[in-house]
Chain A
Amino acid sequence: MSQLQARFFTEDKRYIVDDVPFSIPASSEVEDLGNIINKLLLAKNASHSKVEFDFLVRGQFLRTSLSFHMETEGISTEEVVEIEYAEKITAPQPEECMMHDDWISSVDADNEWILTGSYDKTARIWSPEGKAMMTVAGHTDVVKDVAWVKRDGLTSLLLTSSLDQTILMWEWNSEKNKVKARHCCRGHTGSVDTVATDPTGSKFSSGSWDKMLKIWSAVPTDEADEVEEPADRPRKKQKTQQLGLTRTPLMTLSGHNEAVSSVLWSDTEEVCSASWDHTIRVWDAETGEMKTTLTSTKVFNCISYSPLCRRLASGSADRHIRLWDPRTKDGSLVLLSLTSHHGWVTAVKWSPSHQHQLVSGSMDNLVKLWDTRSCKAPLYDLAAHEDKVFCVDWTESGLMLSGGADNKLYSFKYSACQTDAGA
């Protein structure tokens, strides 16, 4: 059992080796296998320079010796082992640190701009280089969540939801650097903790502490919706008039028994919401019907959906990250549990470009980069924060962002593999 028959293959065209079985020592580890591949490549191509590889045996990252790994995974050592290899994912490099005045509650970033919501009742727009562009002030209470809606050239639409029970839709012109409140979405009777835009940018959904999930139109108009408001406080009316036109929800989805903590669009027609009542519910955005319920035993703080692998990742108050299949009919089946955090998992985010990778932030001050193929331990721990992490995000341009109670938004440069992105 000292030698194993192994066949190496890769999806990376640059590093293909001949498809012949090799006899390798069973005790070899990642480094030894890397040396083998590098030697083979060097024999094939003299100009090859050394590359660090990671190895997968039946879709699981090799982290121990090969024999131990196969023993624990229950893989027979008699047959030829198929070992996949890929260029090693390099550690995310810290880029910028964006200072805020108060705790950062949320972050939403796309390739051009970063939007953060803060406990100082404002939202801020930053350039990816860390330059503060704009401070969006208008809420009377803590901004709990922010989201980009749409960008048409220089003008962008963005949403901020707040503890003051409203969602504000803003129009921001990046050239003039001017922001204008277009709509004030009223209807929730509790703090609006989460807001999400649908993939087309025509609708958005919001979840609130009042247990309701509401779907709104994201198209800015010039007329206010009719609101039958009890006329008791003229003081507040004035305020709303200042901040854009009032908008009422298209639809209210009620079903959760507790506060809705996270909401997202998995499809143009489908809304997923996670709640403190220990359920994730999948709704039909057209009809407003509930399609599936995924039940757990712990409070959900955050969910994230990856269209690449079609999995939901959830962060709970019990320090586990769980992966779910939202399409299962029988409900509560956890596909995988990722456990390494010591505090509540407050934020999870799938990689927009990689089907196996996700990033998570926790109350234990850590941000962790995970690969679902290595579920025992995270790929990297990013220990930059000095206090609780509340939000993480990931752009397609390879920027990881995390913000928390230390008033800092960190950005990390992350080198996404081109080959894996295609996979």
Chain B
Amino acid sequence: MRSSEKQEKMKKTGEKTKAKRSKEEQEEQEEEQIFNFNNNNKAADEDGGDEDLTDSEESVFSGLEDSGSDSEDEEEGEDEESVEDDDDDDEEDEDESVKTEQVQQGEQKEEEKEEKEDEYAQDSSDEEDIRNTVGNVPMEWYKDFPHIGYDLDGRKIYRPIRNKDELDHFLDKMENPDYWKTVHDKQTGSDIVLSDEQVELVNRLQRGQFGDVNFNEYQPTVEFFTKDVMIHPVTNRPADKRSFIPSLLEKEKVSKLVHAIKMGWIKPRRVEPDSRGRFYDLWANEDSSILSNHRMHLPAPKVQLPGHQESYNPPPEYLFTEEELSLWEQQDPSDRKLPFVPRRFSNLRQVPAYQRFIHERFERCLDLYLCPRQRKMRVNVNPEDLIPKLPKPKDLQPFPTTQSLVYRGHTGLVRSISVSPSGQWLASGSDDGSVKFWEVCSSRCIKTVQVGGAVKDVSWNPNPSVCLLAVALDSVVLVLSPSLGDKQVVSSSERLLSGEQEPTEEAGPVIWSDTEGEELNRGVRLKIHHPKAVHQVAWHAKGDYLASVMPDNSSHLQVLIHQLSRRRSQNPFRKNKGLVQCVSFHPLRPYFFVATQRSVRIYNLVKQEMTKKLQANSKWISSMSVHPGGDHVICGSYDCRLSWFDLDLSTKPYKMLRHHKKAVRGVAYHRNYPLFASASDDGSVIVCHGTVYNDLLQNPLIVPVKVLKGHVITHDLGVLDVTFHPTQPWIFSSGADATVRLFT
């Protein structure tokens, strides 16, 4: 709005000058003008084309700016209400200018004639419009009156009855082809259609040209004085004497300077040795002296030498074809091969300013600014070298890889499994209250013993000369004689059970009882009644001692060690050191491992003292297994970890394995092969290779080799127990899906 206003004002001034030029005619022909004008207006209203015809030939420098008025009109139409005042002002200004033009318009014929007459004859008035005598006052003063001014005779000029509303305006805009050059004269209150010449004049003024088409801006100059030296002087005066005599003043000055130079006061200007030059060779090799001064000197990065592509007239093969150009345009600026398009100019003069100059200088400055000042000694390390060199699982065979057999028959989740020392039988205890014996090689259930309660743990006696199974069930530990295998073995186990019976001490918390009748037929030989629920049983390698675990946070009576041959039980601990999770005997030496929630304690049974306490770094230990060599222990925990302890090394885990996604439920070592495995609630068993070297300096090699899947996750429980075959590289796992699986 404001800019358009300005425009308007500028126009107005321009037009005013014009108006002045034609003042005289206006003055002269007042009466006629009004008459004519009115006529014209009427004609324009009725028939726009008519007026065009009349005006077209004569009027050369009259007219009104079209675009301005056009936009004005539009604005009026669009936002009249909001900016009414502004509009009014504009219109007013416009009106004035329009008025003058129209005046001119009317008089074009006379104009030409009068030019030949006395051009200063009519130079009387500043009045521009003589139809309305109110003068140059804002027309809004007459807003509330029915008239808009007075004519020369003092009669009121009445406001034309305008009943054009918005709709009419709009329709007019849409339908009238001359609408764009129709302007409203506020002083007379009538609409005026501009002629083509007027429009042309407006256009010319807008372009900054002279209104008169015939005006020549570039007239040949007439010089008063020539630059040529003439043979004759301008004056005839003889030369002065001083022009022949050397100047004393100058002589004095020179002598002073000479003296000053002689005295050394003035030094002649030192001539800059041009050897370096003002430009230096950017691409030259760096001075070696700098290099020798600074060992770690880094030369600034050099800009690339300009090539043929940069030339203003490159060979045609460097110019882009259209495909290349389109490709260049499509590419991301950072991906472009060249940052510019090579262009060809016929001569250097036509080369325009390089647009990317600032940009490139900036980039160059950045290059220099960001270039490293110091040479960093970086060790080039191949990331693969950082990975510890683990042998490939393929080279670590044998280990179980595929599921071979599924032992189906249980109806509840199978909490615990145990393989007979010979590897022929597998015992499994389930929540369905049964212990089943399976033939390993055929997955045949040979025997089922109903024990009447959820079985927490089963464990074969590791002594191959007896055939006994300990079963933890509620608060009872049962000793089963499955009578599988050799008769000699069966009889020797019978002998062990029926060993001499010590007179039962009343103080003992445990009651031993023989079974009779039905239970005896089922194979249950012995019952050891505990005061609390038993969660785990563990045999000593010799097969005579049996440890049972009754987790209880508040009592020191959590672990009991039973001697089968003498039917004796004892509580090895006097103090409660935390909730006992599981226990294990050392396979060779008289040590006893007790895993509490967060640590594993190792007791020397002979000296009756604690020898070591292992910190598991896990929140809750779930299971533990001792290496057959006895120097390594693995612990599984409910927070998905498996920790390997090297007893000779430290009380901290030698290695933590976090391969499981859910709680680890069971861990196991293989008796002969360097294998261990962990079972988890995520339904998988992970088999790892774990070589233990006899050399004490060499750490165990632990490589996860296989993830065995097969168990279906039931009630958020996956694999509950895992155990290796004693002689083959096979693994058994039992799960919450009531199956036992063999992986070979």
Contact = CB atoms under 8 A, between A and B. Distances in A.
B487 A344 contact: no
A189 B727 contact: no
Contacts of A254: none
A99 to B, nearest CB: 18
Nearest to B727: A258
Given A189-B488, A317-B744, A276 B728 contact: yes
B157 interface: no
A97 B62 CA distance: 121
Interface in A207-236: 209-210, 230, 232-233, 236
Interface string A122-154: 000000000000000000001000000000000
B491 A388 contact: no
Contacts of B397: 297
B491 A232 contact: yes
Contacts of A191: 424
A388 B442 contact: yes
B485 A318 contact: no
A61 interface: no
A381 to B, nearest CB: 20
Contacts of A331: none
Q: Counting chain B CB atoms within 10 Å of each CB, which of A298, A317, A388, A405 scores highest?
A: A317
Contacts of B443: 388
Given A103-B444, A259-B424, A190 B486 contact: yes
A190 B424 contact: yes
A119 interface: yes
Given A209-B424, A297-B397, A189 B486 contact: yes
Contacts of B441: 261, 301
Contacts of A232: 491
B404 interface: yes
A105 B491 CA distance: 28
B404 A165 contact: no
Q: Counting chain B CB atoms within 10 Å of each CB, which of A210, A344, A390 scores highest?
A: A344
* Chain A binding surface, main DSSP class: loop
B442 A390 contact: yes
B404 A344 contact: yes
Contacts, number: 49
Given A259-B424, A317-B744, A165 B486 contact: yes
Interface in A179-221: 189-191, 209-210
A190 B442 contact: no
Contacts of A105: 442
A60 to B, nearest CB: 29
B465 to A, nearest CB: 11
B398 interface: yes
A153 B406 CA distance: 45
B422 interface: yes
B405 interface: yes
A358 interface: no
A297 B398 contact: yes
A88 to B, nearest CB: 34
A405 B439 CA distance: 13
Given A191-B424, A388-B443, A318 B727 contact: no
Contact of B727 (A233, A276, A388, A390): A276
B444 A363 contact: no
B486 A233 contact: no
A103 B404 CA distance: 18
Interface in B478-519: 485-488, 491
Nearest to B397: A297
Given A119-B444, A165-B487, A190-B485, A299 B728 contact: yes
Interface residues of A, number: 30
B524 to A, nearest CB: 20
B444 A233 contact: no
Nearest to B398: A297
A317 B442 CA distance: 12
B172 to A, nearest CB: 88
Given A191-B424, A318-B744, A233 B404 contact: no
Contacts of A298: 398
A233 B487 contact: yes
A249 interface: no
Interface string A330-363: 0000000000000110000000000000000001
Contact of A363 (B405, B422, B424, B485): B405
Contacts of A165: 486-487
Contacts of A405: 442, 444
A105 B485 CA distance: 18
A233 B405 CA distance: 37
Contact of A236 (B446, B486, B487): B487
Interface string A258-280: 11010000000000000010000
B188 to A, nearest CB: 104
A343 B424 contact: no
Contacts of B446: 142
Contacts of A103: 442, 444
Contacts of B405: 344, 363
A116 to B, nearest CB: 15
A186 B584 CA distance: 39
Interface in B624-660: none
Contacts of B488: 189, 230
Interface in A298-322: 298-299, 301, 317-318
Nearest to A229: B487
A215 to B, nearest CB: 20
Nearest to A299: B728
A122 to B, nearest CB: 15
A363 B440 CA distance: 13
Nearest to B488: A189
B404 A363 contact: yes
A142 B488 CA distance: 19
B491 A233 contact: yes
A343 B727 CA distance: 20
Contacts of B727: 258, 276
B542 to A, nearest CB: 21
Interface string B406-445: 0000000000000000101000000000000000011110
Nearest to B490: A233
A373 to B, nearest CB: 29
B404 A317 contact: yes
Interface string B712-744: 000000000000000110000000000000001
A142 B444 CA distance: 10
A93 to B, nearest CB: 29
A209 B491 contact: no
A209 B487 contact: no
A277 to B, nearest CB: 8
A191 B420 CA distance: 14
Contacts of A190: 422, 424, 485-486
B60 to A, nearest CB: 94
B252 to A, nearest CB: 116
A390 to B, nearest CB: 7
Nearest to A257: B727
A232 B498 CA distance: 15
Contacts of A210: 486
Interface in A383-398: 388, 390
Nearest to A343: B404
Q: Counting chain A CB atoms within 10 Å of each CB, which of B405, B441, B727, B728 scores highest?
A: B441
Per CB-CB distance, the 8 closest pairs between chain A and chain B, nearest first, are: A189-B486, A317-B744, A209-B424, A344-B404, A258-B727, A232-B491, A299-B728, A297-B398
Given A233-B487, A301-B441, 19 more contacts: A119-B444, A142-B444, A142-B446, A165-B487, A189-B486, A209-B422, A209-B424, A230-B488, A233-B491, A261-B441, A276-B727, A276-B728, A299-B728, A317-B728, A317-B744, A344-B405, A363-B404, A388-B442, A388-B443
28 contacts: A103-B444, A105-B442, A119-B444, A142-B444, A189-B488, A190-B422, A190-B424, A209-B424, A210-B486, A230-B488, A233-B487, A233-B491, A236-B487, A259-B424, A261-B441, A297-B397, A297-B398, A298-B398, A299-B744, A301-B441, A317-B744, A343-B404, A344-B404, A363-B404, A363-B405, A388-B442, A390-B442, A405-B444
